[in-house]
């Protein structure tokens, strides 16, 4: 990575030829002969909800009459319909065929879209499990599947360049095992930037795969944790976008770096209007999924030696630019925290945040 360019270029999009060649392979229009008819899938531009937005309520053990827990995808679909969302992105893991059909029936009755969240095969022996999950997701009506390739945040999980290189090697192996299954079943896989890949690293991986079936779930805020400018990340990854995690972010300094927090849309510093527009320009059929995680802020310890274990060759100027961004966009007051709240109050705060975000998406982002 010694020759890696700065993480904060001057709003440059990727090479037009790279973008054009990918879109020629990946857009719905160019895949019309190989993909199923998608005309009914994107009938609404309304914002959907990622299951992780309901981290407190999903499989909740809290006895609550007002905020009963969700035990499966059907529960989530029904609730998201009630609050005006356009669809859901939910984990697909070991579903039965009967349950997948139940999800489809519910989804069609409510007029919502469905995206699956799925684990890629770890090795060749894991491919049958992966294929069964793909089949169940498709049976339920999903044509886009979100995945991640890492087991945790880069700066917390990987403690040497060699460890991160092993992740990259294994990620390519997994995605190459997944690709024939995706092609066989006409389903697309969208790899999230999950506080693991720098944007340029993820593009390099996609180029190595060179598959119309594998693109990006573009998370609007995650790469701030890797000191990348969020608009640069969107500009770099938007040419590959299939799906998104829409969120707004707030920051505050602390001794070892800065803290990062999801906040209701419009309360943070991201230019959401421009980000949504860039995704639409690159892929008009992009799905927009809200990931509003109601939790305590995350510590980003970028002033510690341990943080930098996997970032060979990143210029010091990038750290300076990131810290300057934090100071320029300092959150008014203190970042929201919920650990001190009662279980019922946590559920209430989560629901309030999600409903507020959906209202913002309709009124300010024209996702309605």
- Domain CATH code at residue 28: 3.20.20.150
Q: What is the pLDDT of residues 336-363, one digit of tens each?
A: 999 999 999 999 999 999 999 999 999 9
d(CA 232, CA 12): 7
Nearest C-alpha neighbor of 53 from the set 71, 76, 72: 76
- At residue 15, does pLDDT exceed 80? no
Question: Does residue 227 fall inside a structural domain?
Answer: yes
Please state the pTM of the whole predicted model. 0.89
**pLDDT, tens digit (0-9, with 9 covering 90-100), for 277-299:** 999 999 999 999 999 999 999 99
Residue 316 lies in a domain: no
Query: pLDDT tens digits for 137-178?
Result: 999 999 999 999 998 999 999 999 999 999 999 999 999 999
Give the mean pLDDT of 302-323.
93
In a domain, 329, yes or no: no
300 belongs to a structural domain: no
DSSP 257-269: EEEEEEE-TTSSS
In the predicted model, what is the mean pLDDT of residues 47-62? 96
pLDDT for res 312: 85
Residue 366 lies in a domain: no
* pLDDT of residue 275 exceeding 80: yes
Per-residue pLDDT at 45: 65
Residue 204 inside a domain? The answer is: yes
- In terms of C-beta density within 10 A (0-12 exposed, 13-18 middle, 19 or more buried), how is residue 365 classed? buried
d(C-alpha 281, C-alpha 229), whole Å: 20
Per-position DSSP letters for 159-171, written without gaps between them: -SHHHHHHHHHHH
- The domain in which residue 287 lies consists of 16-249+271-293
The string of pLDDT tens digits covering residues 176-199 is 999 999 999 999 999 999 999 999
Residue 367 has pLDDT above 50, yes or no: yes
Question: Average pLDDT for residues 229-235, to the nearest whole number?
Answer: 98
Q: What is the mean pLDDT of the chain?
A: 90
- Residue that has been written with the tokens 């060179």 in this structure: 210
Residues sharing a CB contact under 8 Å with residue 226, sequence separation 6 or more, in sequence order: 7, 154, 155, 195, 198
Note the pLDDT of residue 8: 41
Q: Is 337 within a domain?
A: no
User: Quick one: pLDDT at residue 42?
Assistant: 45
Q: Token pair of 93, please?
A: 């893991």
Task: Please give the tally of structural domains in the chain.
Answer: 1
CA dihedral 360, 281, 199, 267 (to 10 degrees): -10
Residue pair 98/31 in contact (Cβ under 8 Å)? The answer is no
User: Could you give the count of Cα atoms lying within 13 Å of 334 in the half-sphere of its Cβ?
Assistant: 6
Residue 204 gets which letter from DSSP? Answer: H
DSSP 330: B
Residue 145 lies in a domain: yes
Residue 270 has pLDDT above 80, yes or no: yes
């Amino acid at each position: 990575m010694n020759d890696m360019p700065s993480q904060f270029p001057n709003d440059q999009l990727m090479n037009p030829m790279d973008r054009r060649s990918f879109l020629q392979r990946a857009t719905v229009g160019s895949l019309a002969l190989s993909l199923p008819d998608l005309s009914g899938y994107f009938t609404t531009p309304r914002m959907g909800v990622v299951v992780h937005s309901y981290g407190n309520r999903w499989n909740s053990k809290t006895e609550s009459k007002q905020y009963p827990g969700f035990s499966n995808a059907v529960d989530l679909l029904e609730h998201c319909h009630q609050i005006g969302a356009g669809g859901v992105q939910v984990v697909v893991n070991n579903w039965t065929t009967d349950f997948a059909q139940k999800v489809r029936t519910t989804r069609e009755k409510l007029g919502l879209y469905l995206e699956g969240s799925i684990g890629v095969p770890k090795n060749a022996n894991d491919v049958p499990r992966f294929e069964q999950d793909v089949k169940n997701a498709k049976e339920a009506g999903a044509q886009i599947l979100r995945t991640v390739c890492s087991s945790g945040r880069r700066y917390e999980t990987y403690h040497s360049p060699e460890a991160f290189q092993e992740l990259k090697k294994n990620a390519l192996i997994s995605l190459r095992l997944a690709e024939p299954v995706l092609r066989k079943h006409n389903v697309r896989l969208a790899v999230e930037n999950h506080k693991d890949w720098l944007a340029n690293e993820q593009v390099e991986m996609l180029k190595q795969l060179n598959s119309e079936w594998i693109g990006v779930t573009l998370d609007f805020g995650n790469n701030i944790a890797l000191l990348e400018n969020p608009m640069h990340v969107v500009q770099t990854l938007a040419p590959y976008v299939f799906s998104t995690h829409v969120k707004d972010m707030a920051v505050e300094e602390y001794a070892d770096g800065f803290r990062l927090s999801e906040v209701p849309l419009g309360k943070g510093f991201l230019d959401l209007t421009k980000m949504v527009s860039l995704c639409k320009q690159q892929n008009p059929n992009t799905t927009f999924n809200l990931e509003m995680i109601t939790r305590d802020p995350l510590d980003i310890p970028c002033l510690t030696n341990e943080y930098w274990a996997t970032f060979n060759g990143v210029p010091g100027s990038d750290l300076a630019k990131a810290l300057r961004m934090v100071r320029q966009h300092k959150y008014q007051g203190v970042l929201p925290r919920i650990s001190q709240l009662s279980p019922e109050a946590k559920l209430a705060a989560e629901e309030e945040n999600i409903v507020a975000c959906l209202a913002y998406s309709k009124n300010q982002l024209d996702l309605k």
